[in-house]
Amino acid sequence: MGKPTGFLEFNRELPKDRSPLGRVADYKEFHEHMPEADLKKQGARCMDCGIPFCHTGQLVSGMASGCPIHNLIPEWNDLVYRGLWKEALDRLHKTNNFPEFTGRVCPAPCEGSCVLGMNAPAVTIKNIEVSIIDHGWENGWVVPETPKKRTGKTVAVIGSGPAGLSAAAQLNKAGHLVTVFERADRPGGLLMYGIPNMKLDKKEVVLRRIDLLEKEGVKFVCNTEVGKNLPAETLLKDFDAVILATGATKPRDLPIPGREVKGIHFAMEFLTANTKAVLDSHKNGDFIDATGKDVVVIGGGDTGTDCVGTSMRHGCKSLVQVEILPKPPLERAKDNPWPEWPKTYKMDYGQEEAAAKFGDDPRVYLTTATKFESDAHGHVKAVHTVQVEWTRNDKGQFIPKNVPGTEKVLPAQLVLLAMGFLGPEQPLLESLGIERDPRSNAKAEFEKYTTNNAKVFACGDCRRGQSLVVWAFNEGRGAARECDRYLMGSTDLP
């Protein structure tokens, strides 16, 4: 694939990002575009490697290795190298309903398992992917494709995030009448309100694809929470099948002294209200303002980074991101070999912006919060922290242990909790009588997706727990396949 000697001739290159200090003045996407000639060179680096681990899509050591939706990566890399962009888009769409989403927000486990990555920088798979789909939109190749015939079967999809959208798209292709219910005021779920606009533009990218789905026949019903203002029993009665794709939206809390004081918010409260303000062009009553404040973000994952980037755009006074894990090494550790996901140090966009303004990476590692301190008005004014070391308990499990003498006090008028999610909210599952697994997720076997109610399927984070967008696409497509089989007795969906 690509040029046989391309990986020897061309170095890995990515498009330049807008300058950190310049891009914090707006919410526009921060990636620049790469010239076509340079993209062809990057496609040329894709080796004829025999066994392309990039699209295996398996779990190795509990982490994604390769593409979970099995993108035909070597094929479309080769087509880009040869300048056959429309053919590349056709190959990309065979496995991925929404490459403009994954090409922007996926952490690219495909690159972590790239064979070239064993001894050289991996192929720039993610950037080539997003370039293919953006090229397709620009040239008018992405058009509505309505089903040639309708089956008359009706399916309700609850949740319009990544899993729900991919399930809806596939079921509509099969000819079923699909209605997607979303409790927010706009469709998109996590893609709309969980990811900031500078990473994934809502009007130009998310709503553009949703508009296409509507033209293809998918119906979206917003401001409707099933189990609250629409009885769950109604869906079971009115639809031939139901797909649960509600996500894992129950946030992990931090029950330490002072948690009740004002000014401490879950990350999604902060991010959702900010995106609403961006889209509505005004701040509503839920807006949480970081302007001029000392901000402490607790949690070191992607959501924490998004809180950092958003706070920078507000114009915060200072920013510290507290991470309980150790600082990753610059290169793969011996116990983290290829093709595992490389757990190495990197500065994401939010940390780059904070470092550009405040002089250094805002993250403090091996640190945990022990107490929130309030002022005389009951508002947070400081976060007490301590360093930790990871030791094994009597069961052999690694646990953090506080290190005496390492206590610090961080000034804070805004604290954002970004420590992940515990699972799906339970009322809807209870109202439908859906069995849960030990982690409170909807109980449904992987690749089958059937719950204890034969006409109800579960997929995405509400079934597997908090995970990647690309795993949600995998599960949404899989649930659509099994739902189609249930409705028709057989299926042609992949």
Residue 32 to residue 49: CA distance in whole angstroms: 30
| pLDDT attached to residue 463 | 98
Q: Which two tokens stand for residue 3?
A: 């040029």
Counting DSSP H helices and E strands in the chain, the numbers are 17, 18
Chain segment 434-492, per-residue pLDDT in tens: 999 999 999 999 999 999 999 999 999 999 999 999 999 999 999 999 999 999 999 99
Query: Over the stretch 284-307, which tens digit does the pLDDT of each residue have?
Result: 889 999 999 999 999 999 999 999
Residue 50 is predicted with a pLDDT of: 83
pLDDT digits (tens, 9 = 90+) for 192-218: 999 999 999 999 999 999 999 999 999
Average pLDDT, whole number, for the chain? 96
Query: Where do the H-state alpha helices sit in 182-224?
Result: 207-216
Q: Judge if 154-249+422-488 and 253-419 fold alike in CATH terms.
A: yes
Looking at 3.50.50.60, 3.30.710.10, 3.40.50.620, 3.40.50.150, the CATH number of the domain 154-249+422-488 comes to 3.50.50.60
The pLDDT > 70 percentage for the chain reads 100
What is the rounded distance in angstroms from the CA atom of residue 128 to the CA atom of residue 107? 14
- Residue pair 480/166 in contact (Cβ under 8 Å)? The answer is yes
Strands 398-402 and 380-392: antiparallel
Domain ranges (residues) in the chain = 6-138, 154-249+422-488, 253-419
Answer yes or no: is pLDDT of 48 > 80. no
pLDDT score recorded for residue 1: 65
Residue 63, pLDDT > 90, answer no
- Give the long-range contacts of residues 354-357, CB within 8 A, separation 24 or more: 354/308, 354/312, 354/319, 354/321, 355/20, 356/19, 356/20, 356/21, 357/20, 357/21, 357/24, 357/312
Q: Under CATH, to which class is 253-419 assigned? A: alpha beta
The percent of residues above 90 in pLDDT, for the chain, comes to 95
pLDDT band per the 50, 70, 90 thresholds, residue 62: confident
For 313-371, what is each residue's pLDDT tens digit? 999 999 999 999 999 999 999 999 999 999 999 999 999 999 999 999 999 999 999 99
Q: What DSSP state is assigned to residue 330? A: S
- With H, G, I as helix, E, B as strand and everything else as coil, classify residue 402: strand
Reported as a pLDDT band with limits 50, 70 and 90, residue 93 is: very high
pTM for the whole structure: 0.95
What does the longest C-alpha to C-alpha distance in the chain come to?
Answer: 71
Please work out, in degrees rounded to the nearest 5, the angle formed at the alpha carbon of residue 129 by the alpha carbons of 123 and 131.
110
CATH class for domain 6-138? mainly alpha
